[in-house]
Amino acid sequence: MELDSLYQQVILDHYKSPHHKGLPNSSTSVHHVNPSCGDEITLSLILTDGKVTDLVWDGVGCSISQASSSIMSDLVIGKSAEEAFAVMEHFTTLMQSKGTLTGDEEVLEDAIALAGVSKFPARVKCALLGWMAFKDAAIQAGGVNV
Ligand code: ZN
């Protein structure tokens, strides 16, 4: 992995001190795995009036999956499910860009640090795991019509 050192530090910080990591506890708890790497995440969230008012996740896996889940939790809490899905789409597009996009920092905040991951197709699933779990949980909670 050849990531910019500043970006590497952001990822490492989230990996070492993950945000909103704890025991998932609400009724909308989902479990996602990334078999190609061995990453796992369990995530629960609470939607109040369509807004993500709480989200807790727990997981094991590589630094990319854990850091991305931590960054995702920061990004979606406080947003409406629709707003959070828009950020997720932006991030997913970035991850699928094979290194051709850099992403919008205004939208992605710390997730911009993961831009370099898009050059490594085998790791893209690691970066998207937490987001996929969020999407699943938000749909289960009834916050989004798909
Ligand atoms: Zn991984």
Q: What residues are paired with 30 via a beta bridge?
A: 43
Q: Residues near 48 by Cβ (< 8 Å), separated by ≥ 6?
A: none
- Taking the centre of ligand 1 as the mean of its atom positions, its distance from the CA of residue 125, in whole angstroms, is 7
Asked if pLDDT for residue 3 goes beyond 80, the answer is no
pLDDT of 17-47, one tens digit each? 999 999 988 777 999 999 999 999 999 999 9
- Taking the centre of ligand 1 as the mean of its atom positions, its distance from the CA of residue 108, in whole angstroms, is 20
What pLDDT was estimated at residue 44? 96
Q: How many degrees, rounded to 5, is the angle at CA 86 between CA 69 and CA 123?
A: 40
User: Is CATH 3.90.226.10 the right assignment for the domain spanning 3-140?
Assistant: no
- Taking the centre of ligand 1 as the mean of its atom positions, its distance from the CA of residue 110, in whole angstroms, is 18
Note the pTM of the prediction, 2 decimals: 0.93
What is the distance, to the nearest Å, from the Cα of residue 15 to the centroid of all Cα atoms in its chain? 12
Q: Residues near 135 by Cβ (< 8 Å), separated by ≥ 6?
A: 85, 88
Q: Please count the other Cβ atoms lying within 10 Å of the Cβ belonging to residue 79.
A: 15
What percent of the chain stands above pLDDT 70?
Answer: 96
